[in-house]
Chains A and B, each alone.
Chain A
């Protein structure tokens, strides 16, 4: 115990935060947990106790299996991709001689823009015929070397006219948001676009804390190429940063909602029906608050498990200086 302060000081320092945490965050969750066992709907006077019916529904209906698949796919794709891209961007920018501020700002822009407007812009850009993405792809159809590259004509064992690009040129490029096979990947792409700038900034900070002497020492020890230097020095020293970034990115991607609400509304055929959107659809749109609350509880359990798993596995391997 440190001398010089009364034993009640910590209490007073933490009391406002703890009280607010309880009132604003934990209490509503407790209410949600209770509601998940009922049939409550906004505007009703009372609610019926239905015990585990809501949870049962979640385990049996096809829609909820799709929900888990969509969420896991999204997290599984976006977290690694935005981490790697963020790291690469940070490494590249860090080693530049000039122009760092401009690139940093450009890559951070997606984080700063109002989602509603961005989503609308993406929707226009992804339009199957007049959207800018497909327009660019279609322009590539007439440019021979682009066609060569993207239809894999350079690989002797493939049939170029059956490739994705070639069929796209002849029949029209896919409905990025309307096709069951593409929608989830499109949402993932937008999620990566939005998030990697955030990670880049965090990694940049981590990189500036790696002491230069270590690089010199590594060189003395025989690490010649940039690749060697990375594995020997940079990566281990980024350990603590990694923990922070992985945790925050994972939590954020589990909580994805805005893009789905604005672009696909969980469709087509529930392929982008991520959990946060499911909660919103059931609790707020459809006014089935009990069911929405049940999904919330399941969501929290899943995220909790994931976080604990991360702390076990990832943190053990990290050494702090």
Chain B
């Protein structure tokens, strides 16, 4: 009995030992495989962190881009950070993160907010990477495009989504008032307003003076081929500045424009109350969605002062390299991502998913040719691309304060607080020059 038991036990133990051995080997094997593969993963996969604004707009853009990117670059993993609320928030967040020491690798910043990050040394120059590229131009990166992100002769960003000012026209209301062609100058706009007033349309026009960054004021300046800032000084103290202010006064008074927020203006336009809306092309998706079937919408080029404008400021954002990492693989991965999203299919996704357009020549002319044919309203902005100019930042730390001062001044024209444009011009020049760095 005992012996059998012992044998039994011994066999038991033997079996146990045997299976344990096997398990051990298996486990070790698995562990080794895991370690090796994770090592392999660790060795091959690089992670970069990216931040971008306007979740509601650009989430879908990146959803469209990523499958192609992941297929082309399986060794790079992209983690998206919490989205920024708007361009101001984008810059403020990056500034905070610079202090806290956890900058992202790539960040999308408003075009007029790039200069600040360059000044503070947070954005890195892209020249070394561009130098290594075999044929950058062939990928569609042309001078005008790169010019938007060039500071002090070096390129610091790659423009990602661009917008230009356009006119949105309610064709039904225009026809009703007997206007047969889209206005080409501001005088024609005022004339159209008067015709609509005569037909009982109370609020014929809205002009986007309140868009961020004094964009429309810069539009009027660039229309006369003049930058609003020159050589580090405010440049609207001369005749071009005067003409800009006078044009605004003419438009606001001639059309009896109401002091609406853009949200309210958009609502009015969608309800078919406003005939002409002048704003960035980036709202095209929203406007189309909001109006539904209420009326026919056509976009048209931004009117000029005495003919076509000589230049228009670019709106939108650019991708910048802010990686503080020491790992060259990581920085290289960030550059790869930067390149991918601003050229080829990556760039085309911008136009296909938002009202913005990619400034990349190849993307616009080749990949998107069909798209623009089917969506003529989107094409208006693309046609104006040759007019592309900088969205200028005001120099120094108080750039935003200067923006606010000019905003308040223009608001005064809308509300009727200011009537003498010469006085206003003087006051604005004085206050803004005071805020420039000494």
Consider the complex of A and B and state whether they touch directly, i.e. have CB atoms less than 8 Å apart: yes
Q: Which residues of A contact B (CB under 8 A)?
A: 39, 41-44, 63, 123-124, 127-130, 172, 175, 177-180, 267-270, 281-282, 284-288
Q: A127-B264, A178-B264 are in contact. Are A268 and B411 (CB under 8 A)?
A: yes
Q: A42-B92, A43-B122 are in contact. Are A128 and B411 (CB under 8 A)?
A: no
- What residues of chain A lie closer than 8 Å to B398, measured between beta carbons? 286, 288
Q: Does B187 count as interface, using CB distance less than 8 angstroms?
A: no
* Tally of B interface residues using CB under 8 Å: 31
Q: In the complex, A41→B400 CA distance in Å?
A: 12
5 nearest interchain CB pairs?
A178-B259, A286-B400, A41-B397, A43-B95, A43-B120
Q: A178-B264, A269-B412 are in contact. Are A286 and B404 (CB under 8 A)?
A: yes
- What residues of chain A lie closer than 8 Å to B27, measured between beta carbons? none
Q: In the complex, A130→B203 CA distance in Å?
A: 13
Q: A43-B95, A287-B92 are in contact. Are A130 and B267 (CB under 8 A)?
A: yes
Q: Does B99 count as interface, using CB distance less than 8 angstroms?
A: yes
Contact A270 B261 (CB under 8 A): no
- What residues of chain A lie closer than 8 Å to B271, measured between beta carbons? 129-130
Contact B264 A287 (CB under 8 A): no
- What residues of chain B lie closer than 8 Å to A175, measured between beta carbons? 258-260
Contact B258 A128 (CB under 8 A): yes
B196 to chain A, nearest CB (A): 15
A16 to chain B, nearest CB (A): 27
Q: Does B133 count as interface, using CB distance less than 8 angstroms?
A: no
Q: In the complex, A21→B404 CA distance in Å?
A: 36
- What residues of chain A lie closer than 8 Å to B88, measured between beta carbons? 285
Contact B267 A286 (CB under 8 A): no
- What residues of chain B lie closer than 8 Å to A41, measured between beta carbons? 397
B141 to chain A, nearest CB (A): 29
Q: In the complex, A147→B267 CA distance in Å?
A: 28
Contact A129 B203 (CB under 8 A): yes
Q: In the complex, A44→B92 CA distance in Å?
A: 13
A82 to chain B, nearest CB (A): 26
Q: In the complex, A154→B202 CA distance in Å?
A: 31
Contact B95 A267 (CB under 8 A): no
Q: Does B401 count as interface, using CB distance less than 8 angstroms?
A: yes
Contact A178 B258 (CB under 8 A): yes
Q: In the complex, A89→B55 CA distance in Å?
A: 42
Q: Which residues of B contact A (CB under 8 A)?
A: 88, 92, 95-96, 98-99, 116, 120, 122, 202-203, 258-261, 263-264, 267-268, 271, 273, 397-398, 400-401, 404, 408, 411-412, 415, 417
A149 to chain B, nearest CB (A): 26
- What residues of chain A lie closer than 8 Å to B261, measured between beta carbons? 123, 177-178
B260 to chain A, nearest CB (A): 6
Contact A44 B400 (CB under 8 A): no
Q: A130-B271, A268-B411, A269-B412 are in contact. Are A123 and B397 (CB under 8 A)?
A: no
Contact A43 B99 (CB under 8 A): yes
- What residues of chain B lie closer than 8 Å to A123, measured between beta carbons? 261, 263-264
- What residues of chain B lie closer than 8 Å to A172, measured between beta carbons? 202
Secondary structure of the B side of the interface?
helix
Q: In the complex, A44→B408 CA distance in Å?
A: 27
- 14 A-B contacts (beta carbon < 8 Å): A42-B95, A43-B122, A44-B120, A124-B267, A127-B267, A129-B268, A130-B271, A175-B259, A177-B264, A178-B264, A269-B411, A269-B415, A269-B417, A281-B404
Contact A267 B260 (CB under 8 A): no
Closest A residue to B91 by beta carbon equals A287
- What residues of chain B lie closer than 8 Å to A179, measured between beta carbons? 259, 415
Q: A42-B99, A178-B259 are in contact. Are A287 and B268 (CB under 8 A)?
A: no
Q: A172-B202, A178-B259 are in contact. Are A128 and B397 (CB under 8 A)?
A: no
Most buried by A among B203, B411, B417: B411
B90 to chain A, nearest CB (A): 13
A120 to chain B, nearest CB (A): 8
Contact B268 A42 (CB under 8 A): no
Q: In the complex, A39→B411 CA distance in Å?
A: 28
- What residues of chain B lie closer than 8 Å to A270, measured between beta carbons? 408
A299 to chain B, nearest CB (A): 19
Q: In the complex, A270→B263 CA distance in Å?
A: 19
Closest B residue to A172 by beta carbon equals B202
Q: A123-B264, A172-B202 are in contact. Are A269 and B397 (CB under 8 A)?
A: no
- What residues of chain A lie closer than 8 Å to B417, measured between beta carbons? 180, 269
Q: In the complex, A178→B203 CA distance in Å?
A: 15
- What residues of chain A lie closer than 8 Å to B95, measured between beta carbons? 42-43, 287
Known: A129-B203, A178-B258, A285-B88; 17 extra A-B contacts, CB below 8 A, are: A43-B98, A123-B263, A124-B267, A128-B260, A129-B273, A130-B267, A177-B264, A178-B259, A179-B415, A180-B417, A268-B411, A268-B415, A269-B415, A270-B408, A285-B400, A287-B95, A287-B400
Q: A129-B203, A129-B271 are in contact. Are A284 and B92 (CB under 8 A)?
A: yes
- What residues of chain A lie closer than 8 Å to B397, measured between beta carbons? 39, 41, 44, 287-288
Contact A180 B415 (CB under 8 A): yes
Q: In the complex, A251→B90 CA distance in Å?
A: 32
- What residues of chain A lie closer than 8 Å to B203, measured between beta carbons? 129
- What residues of chain A lie closer than 8 Å to B92, measured between beta carbons? 42, 284-285, 287
A228 to chain B, nearest CB (A): 50
- What residues of chain B lie closer than 8 Å to A180, measured between beta carbons? 415, 417
Q: A43-B120, A129-B268, A129-B273 are in contact. Are A288 and B401 (CB under 8 A)?
A: yes
B421 to chain A, nearest CB (A): 17
Q: In the complex, A172→B260 CA distance in Å?
A: 14
